[in-house]
Structures are given as structure tokens and as C-alpha cells.
Structure 1
Amino acid sequence: MDNPSPLVIDASGRDIHGEADRIRAHGPATRVVLPGPPDVEAWAVSSPELLKRLLTDPRVSKDARRHWPRFAAGEITPEWPLFTWVAVQNMFTAYGGDHKRLRTLVAKAFTARRTAAMRPRIEKITEELLDHVENGLRGGGSVDLREEFCYPLPIRVISELFGLPEERAPELRELVDRLFDTSADPGEMTAAYERLYGVLGELVAAKRAMPGDDLTTGLITARDEDDARLSEQELLDTLVLMISAGHETTVNLLDQAVHSLLTHPEQLAHVREGRATWDDVVEETLRYEAPVASLPLRYAVEDLDLAAFGGPEGVVIGKGEAILASYAAAGRDPERHGKDAGVFDVTRVDKEHLAFGYGVHFCVGAPLGRMEARIALPALFERFPALRLGAEGDALGYVESFISNGHRRLPVRGS
């Protein structure tokens, strides 16, 4: 550990890209201090090539119980703001055979066929929400597009997929917002998790009593019938993962795509005039504004000499040390994307990004998130060709999180 002054991560997330610049300036991998107490140091990895190699190496684990000595020793308690991010028992935190078992069970429920079958519903929900937005814009009015479009679309989609009653959506949103708020009081976050477990426990009980054609029923079936059974805690934690990550990231993707296009009208013109596609918009947004800015945590199963991974000479991540995947920093890495890496350009040839992760932990919901954005964005801009921002800069606010990358509000006008 040659760097004596690790960077302190801002829990509020008020300047995600400024912080990403500082992380990159310290090298492909640098020590940081995560929000506490207690103080927890980790290695922030910002080089996309180094990240890919680490994320696919079996000597890098996500299992805190097995491979993070501080957690195993009881030093990391529920009072730590990020405790639930490392303590849940699902495929997000699993390693090796456990991860393969859990991901296989999820994949049996979350199939490509089921995702594709959601297209007509996503199109209908999009049109219903745009009708609502249109009503709000009449007479020169302003609408908070994050609140009225970017949020409700993914929540309604994920609720339908998992058979969650629509009336629970507002509570679900409030609870998930709290989980991503890395500046929140740990007690508030613990209470949010407890309430979320209560909501999902009720859902599981209801689906056991009356199964449906939904992912919750599919996971229950896998838990109750498969030889590689889900434990009851793994079932609940898997639902926490799928429902929370299944909408928060898409909210940010939609939010950031709309904001990027409205603040770069020449890029929107490229799409409208056929020089770029909506797929280009989605992928460039994922690179330029990764919906998940940084993701905790992984752990070195043994000493990792980064030179062996194509990284810097003389830097070793020690056995049991924590690793933070800095996706926002990686997306704008000049070594990968050139001097204009910090420019939003839908015509960019190389839009490669790590916004959905990489390797065995690649996001199982990525096809759904992409499909939602590819349906919602063209529908929005076709309905409102003169759409413009109703506020800019600091007035938009920011999600109070160094994990979740989005605005607090996105006011727009129709003309």
C-alpha cells in the first residue's frame, strides 16, 4: 500500500464524476475510505481493462462471510451504512458454487422468453404514462419527468413481473430509495430493510397460497422443488435484489438519457436525422452516465499483484482486502475511450461500458432494462418533439448516494 492518503468517498454523491476523476488521477487502482463509521478501506478500481480481469478472476470473491476477515470477525456490524450491501444472501454476494446455484435458479424464472413477453405491456404502460405527462404539460405547464415517467415505468414493470400488487408500488419505491441512500442514518436503512422483508414475506405467502404466472411464483417453485434449493432467507434476499436493482438502475438510465439528450441537442438531432439509433443513445448513456456509479464490494481471496493483471507495477491488493468497482470512472476512462471520454457522443464507435457489470455477475436483468429504455425514449421524444428542460444544473439536485447515479428531479416543458 504505497499511497499513504486514501481518498475519502463522499457518501452524498453530490459530485460523482468529480470524484471519479480524482480516483482515476490516483491510478488504475487506489485506496479509498468508504462512508462510515467504522472506517473501511477498499481498493477503488477505475481502469476498465483491469476491472474486467479482476471481475472474471476466481481469486476475487463477493462473499464477505468467507473472504472479508473484518466481516467474519464481527467488526462490520449493522451500524455500518453499507452493511446490507455485503450481508444479504443472494447471488449478488455469492461466490463459486453458491453463486452458480443461485444464478441458475434465478435464470429458470427470469427467462428471455418472459422478458420478451413483457414488450406489449411496457409499450402500453409507456403510453399511459405519456398521456399523464401530456396532461401536465398542457398550457405551458411543467412536469417532473423523473417522478412521473422515469420512476413509475420500471416500478410498474418489475411489480408486474414479480406479481407485486400495484398499490404497494409507492411503498416499494420509498424503501428502495432508502436502501440506495448511502448518506442515510444506518438505523433508518436497517428499518427500511426490515419493512421491505415484511412486504416481500407477505408477497411470498400470498403466492404460495395462490400461485401465479410471475417471477415470485417461479422462485418459490425453484425453492420448493429444485434439488439445489433456495433457503427461505436466500429466497427473500433474491427478491430484494431483483426488485430493488430491477427498477432503480432503469430509473437512472431513463433519467440520464433524457437529460443528456436535452442538454446536447446536437446529439438528439443525430438520432432524428438517422445518423444514430436509439440503441446508440442507450449504450452511450450507459457509458457516459453509469446508473450505478460504484458498487460495493469484492474481496481478494489471496494476494493479487496487479502487474499480473496488466495493472501497475508494485501494487498488491492483499488477501482479504476489499475492492470497489468504480463503474462511473471506468466509463469515462481516457485510456479506453480517448481524450473525449468525458463527452456525450451517440455517434461514438466504441461505446463499451461495464454498467451492467462483467463476468459471472453480469446483471441478469440487463435485457429488460435495455428493452424498457429502447421503448420509452423514442416514444417520449416522438410524443414531445419540442421537449426542453425546465431547470438546469444544481436546481436538478442529485440522488444522495455514491452508488446510484441520478437526479433528484427532472422538470421539463413541452414547448
Structure 2
Amino acid sequence: MDARPGPAEERAPAPEPYRLDPAGGCPHAANARLLARGAVAPVVLPGDIEGMAVLGHDALREFLSDPDVAKGPRHFTALAEGRVPEGWPLRTFATVPGMTTADGADHRRLRALVSSAFTARRVELLRPRVEAVTAGLLDGLAGAAEAGGGVADLRRHFALPLPLGVICELLGVDPAHQDRLHRLSSLVVATDTEPAQAVAANRELVELLASIAAAKAAEPGDDLTSALIAARDEGGDRLSQPELIGTLLLMIVAGHETTLNLVTNAVRALCAHRDQLAHVTEGRATWEDVVEETLRWDSPVSYFPFRYPTRDLTLDGTLIPRGTPVLVGYSAAGRDTKAHGPDADRFDLTRAGGAKHLSLGHGPHYCLGAPLARMEAAVALEALFTRFPELDQAVPEAGLTRHAGFVGNSVRALPVRLGRSA
């Protein structure tokens, strides 16, 4: 008897791994192609490190809450085997001490040290300060446009200084450090940074944060850094010096890079969809709706590193071997037609059931700063379009330069014309 399988029994060839471009680019076309194959895709990371990406909304939700998925670097097989060089552009994501690389009790301990600063109640108390900072930045944006012949870079003059200024104020960081902190954090999160530059940027950032912490230790204030230093100095196991620096790094990088991209992407979306802007200005939708639909439709983070199965894991029919570095595909999940319908690639503030998304995470590592990011973005967008209702892009979308790398998802600059002031 011929025991060979017939055509219906033959296994389809495994798809070729998707090689992620370290220089980044718009992720949506590639995401659509990958999602057509399935919710989980093999990928090749910089340095020919094999990995996986979870792209489908439902699979991602399951993956993010799976107790057999960890974030600690000891679970990263290639790292443990010495196959990840010091200058690997994603190494900081994998190894920085702090809550993003901690699991279980360690994660809960580190998260508890800062969580009280980001509750909905505490964030609401910050609203007047955020509104005041926003108003001042709008004046600066108008001045930049006047000096620039009617055109100003909204990202540089508005979307960046708002969240960076607020998180630095919360941490008690001198404003004089802000430009340097942004420059270094941009190098650290980029995936196309040359190895020597990545090592140097990471070292310089750690040294800068250590000097900031030392200054705060000498002269404590009513700020989050001083509170963290007090926790470190109390002894016991509350916080180590490396964890202190790692926590500061996380707070500063995550506290402004994502909100910067969120505001930039929302402005681009509204400029390209004036009918949706009219929904808000005419009262058929809210600025909070704009924030949520932007988070779904054009997530500020495209692929976030890393999580590792602690056992061989089958997700949506695809095997993810133990110790594989897995990217969380937020931008893909946001346009998954299985979760959001056949019009998932349409920006729609009146979407039935609202904009459900996972762009701020899910499970135990859900974004701690989500209430602050949402509030900052809503305040910024309302103030911006209230003062400049005719604001529009000065450069077509195709002419904008994309963010460096495949982690952040946005553009490097957003030239706009403000139009008349209301």
C-alpha cells in the first residue's frame, strides 16, 4: 500500500521568515501581508537573530497574559548562549534592569514603587499643569511658524516638549538635561544604530541618569526620583542601584517617546481625514475618541521587544520554541480585520463599539503611564485644533521621513501650516 500522503494531507511549506528592516519605515503594508499568513510570524532580527512576532489581536491578547511567557533576559536563549553581541541595537530592551525585564514578585515590587504616581486620580491632578504647558507651547509653535515662513515642525515644537517636560517635571529632572535625554533615548530605541554608537549612547545615558540621581540624593525634592532614592536607601530588597537607573531610563524613554508619537500620529490622521476632525469639532465624537482610534489605527509603537516563552508554546497553531525572542506587534493587531472588521484600515472615530486595541499592552505589564499618556494627548489635540482649526500638513504624507527603526512608529518631523488663529 502506498503510504505517502495525498495532496490534501501534504503540509504547506513553512513561510519564509520576515526580515525586519532596522531602518524602519511604514509598517502597515508588511503587517497586512504577514497577517494574511496568520497571527504569528517568524522574523529575522538585526544580526540574524531568529525571533517571532505576534500580530493578530486575539493571539496577542492571549500571549500577553500567558503565565508561561516571561520578560527576564535569562529566558532569552540566544543571549544566554552568548550569541548576542554587546552592541546589538536591541540589547538594552532585553537587559536593562527594571520592571520591563522583571517577572513575578520582582515585577510587582518594582511596579509598586512608581504606580501611585500614575493613578487616574493623580493624573487628573496634573491636568491644570499640562494645560498650562500646552498653552505655552502653542505660543512657541506660532512663533516658530512665523519665523519659518508660515511652516513649523509640530513634532519638534509641540509634540515632543509636552510629554518630555511633564515626565521630567514628575521626576524632578532639570530642564537643561531634556535635549540630551531625548537625543540619547532616541539612539537607544532606534534599531538601526551602529554597534559602537549604541554602546556609547547607552553608556552615556546611564552615566547621565546616575549623575541626576546623585544630585537628587544630595538635595532631595518632592519628586519621583527622590522617592525612588529613598526606597533604595532604606535597604532591604526594595530597590537596587541598577534598578533605580533602569527605572529612571524606562520612565523617561517610555514617558515621552510614545506620547510624542501618539500626538504626531493623531495630527497626521486628522489632517488626512478632515471629515473625522469635523465629527469632533461638531460634537459627534470626543478628543478621547481621537486618542483611542489613533492608538488602534496607527499605534505609536509598532513592534515592542521582548517576551520569551518559558516552554514550547503553540499560539494560533504556530509553535514558538522556548527562549525565542518575541516581538509584540501592536501596529499589526490594531488593523487586524478579524478583530476590527473589514474596514480595519480606515480611521473612523464613530467605529461601532469604540476603538478596542492593545496598543498600551495587556496583562501584568500593561502600560503604567497609560492614564497620563491619554490625558496629555487629549489635552494637546483639543488645544491645538481649537486654537488653529485650519492647521494642515505642509508636506504630503509620502514626503515625510519615517522614524528610525521598527520599534517606534511615526515620522521624524511633521511640518505644518497653522492657518488662522481662532
Tell whether 2:332 aligns with 1:335.
no
Query: CA deviation digits over 1:367-386, x for unaligned, max 9?
Result: 11111011110000010011
Match of 1:377 among 373, 381, 386: 381
Distance across 1 between alignment mates of 2:141 and 2:268: 16
Contact 2:118 2:371 (8 Å CA) reproduced: no
Return closer, same or farther for 1:112/1:204 CA change in 2, 3 Å cut-off.
farther
Shift of 1:203: 1.0
Q: Specify the SS of the correspondent of 1:280.
A: helix
* AA matched with 1:341: A
Q: Which residue of 2 aligns with 1:281?
A: 290
Contact 1:7 1:31 (8 Å CA) reproduced: yes
Distance across 2 between alignment mates of 1:165 and 1:374: 26
Contact 1:216 1:239 (8 Å CA) reproduced: yes
Query: CA deviation digits over 1:67-104, x for unaligned, max 9?
Result: 12221222222122211110111110111222112112
Distance across 2 between alignment mates of 1:263 and 1:109: 36
Tell whether 2:14 aligns with 1:3.
yes
Tell whether 2:56 aligns with 1:50.
no
Contact 1:3 1:30 (8 Å CA) reproduced: no
Query: CA deviation digits over 1:44-79, x for unaligned, max 9?
Result: 1111111111111110011121x1222122222212
Tell whether 2:328 aligns with 1:325.
yes
Q: Which residue of 2 aligns with 1:389?
A: 393
Match of 1:361 among 343, 357, 365: 365
Q: 1:151-230, aligned counterparts within 5 Å?
A: 151-225=160-234, 227-230=236-239
Contact 1:109 1:219 (8 Å CA) reproduced: no
Q: Specify the SS of the correspondent of 2:52.
A: strand
Query: Percent of pairs identical after alignment?
Result: 47
Distance across 1 between alignment mates of 2:387 and 2:79: 51
Contact 2:89 2:190 (8 Å CA) reproduced: no
Q: 1:102-181, aligned counterparts within 5 Å?
A: 102-138=110-146, 141-181=150-190
Gaps (5+ residues) in structure 1? none
Contact 1:101 1:228 (8 Å CA) reproduced: no
Greater mean alpha carbon deviation, residues 224-233 or residues 49-58: 224-233
Shift of 1:406: 0.9
Shift of 1:106: 2.3
Tell whether 2:305 aligns with 1:296.
yes
Distance across 1 between alignment mates of 2:415 and 2:333: 29
Higher Cα radius of gyration = 2
Task: Tell me the TM-score normalised to structure 2 length.
Answer: 0.93
Distance across 2 between alignment mates of 1:182 and 1:362: 23
Distance across 2 between alignment mates of 1:21 and 1:60: 25
Distance across 1 between alignment mates of 2:219 and 2:325: 43
Match of 2:72 among 58, 63, 73: 63
Match of 1:82 among 81, 84, 90: 90
Tell whether 2:346 aligns with 1:346.
no
Give the aligned length. Answer: 406
Query: CA deviation digits over 1:89-131, x for unaligned, max 9?
Result: 1110111222112112222454544433321211111000101
Distance across 1 between alignment mates of 2:409 and 2:270: 17
Contact 1:23 1:44 (8 Å CA) reproduced: no
* AA matched with 2:323: G
